[in-house]
Every structure is written in structure tokens, then in C-alpha cells.
């Protein structure tokens, strides 16, 4: 768990930076496609409760995962992929921001509906991180499957 507020704020700032970075064209890199979901999974591990998780949190988690799958799919379908100077680029759109804002809104609504915020946010933080991991992973997998250009960017170049 986070030992202080400063660490939590740093992680939040990094996530916000990554979200807004999706709006700029950026070259496709394996590290970016794989690292973001793994970082979120790491945060799930760090924030997962040490004691038994109540059934309401598991239900909330399933709902968050469901919405995250939808958000990641929408982000992937509305991302722009193009080649410029033999470099494959991916760029999010306004839909990217809308899906993130919707995800955060749904997450907050579910938290209040299940009364989880009254128990202390540190006990339910893992649910948010699972959602973030699912969004990033879903987006990455769909982009990889949908665009042959991305598959080619992941394949080492053959030297002739």
C-alpha cells in the first residue's frame, strides 16, 4: 500500500500524463504496449487487501472489469494508426478522453453505490487499478489484432 500521499499523487500524475499522451501521435513500441498493463497489474498487487475481500467488492470489481473491457475496446476502435516515414504511429482521439472520463465516473458511482468510500479508499484502490490494467491491455490487444502495421512493428526487421 502507499506509505504516503506524495507517492499516491505521483502515481496519479503519471496516469494522467499517460492518458493525455495517448492523444498525441507516438511511434508504436513493444514496451509501451506491454508496460502500461503490467504497471497497473503491479499496482493491483501493491494495493490488494491483506484480509479477506468482501463479496460486495468482488461484485464491484466484476462490474468495473466489464466497463473497462468496453472502454478499452472503444479506445482501440477509435484510435488512429498510420505510417509516416516508415514508422508506425498510434494516436488516441477525443473518444479516448471520453472513455477515460466515463470509466472514472462509473468507478466513482459504483464506489458510492456500494458504500465502499466510507470504508476507506485504500481498501478499494485495487479495483481501480484492475480497471486501468484491463483498459490498457484490451486496447493493446485489439490494436495488435486489428492493425497488421502494428504486428509488423513488433517483428524484428530482416537484414538483407
- CB–CB of 157/95 below 8 Å? no
Nearest to 23 by CA among 58, 65, 75: 75
pLDDT digit of tens for each residue in the chain (160 aa)?
A: 445 566 667 777 877 887 888 888 988 887 778 888 888 888 888 888 888 888 888 999 999 999 999 999 999 999 999 889 988 899 999 999 999 989 988 988 988 888 776 666 567 788 888 999 999 999 999 999 999 888 887 776 543 3
Number of other residues whose CB lies within 10 A of the CB of residue 14:
11
pTM tops 0.75, yes or no = yes
Amino acid at each position: 500500500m502507499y506509505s504516503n500521499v506524495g507517492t499516491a499523487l505521483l502515481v496519479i500524475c503519471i496516469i494522467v500524463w499517460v492518458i493525455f499522451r495517448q492523444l498525441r501521435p507516438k511511434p508504436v513500441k513493444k514496451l509501451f504496449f506491454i508496460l502500461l498493463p503490467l504497471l497497473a497489474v503491479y499496482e493491483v498487487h501493491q494495493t490488494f487487501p491483506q484480509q479477506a475481500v468482501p463479496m460486495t467488492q468482488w461484485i464491484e470489481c466484476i462490474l468495473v472489469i466489464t466497463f473497462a473491457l468496453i472502454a478499452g475496446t472503444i479506445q482501440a476502435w477509435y484510435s488512429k494508426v498510420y505510417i509516416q516515414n516508415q514508422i508506425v504511429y498510434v494516436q488516441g482521439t477525443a473518444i479516448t478522453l471520453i472513455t477515460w472520463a466515463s470509466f472514472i465516473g462509473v468507478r466513482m458511482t459504483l464506489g458510492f453505490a456500494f458504500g465502499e468510500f466510507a470504508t476507506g479508499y485504500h481498501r478499494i484502490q485495487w479495483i481501480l487499478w484492475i480497471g486501468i490494467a484491463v483498459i490498457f491491455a484490451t486496447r493493446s490487444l485489439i490494436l495488435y489484432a486489428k492493425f497488421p502495421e502494428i504486428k509488423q512493428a513488433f517483428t524484428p526487421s530482416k537484414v538483407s
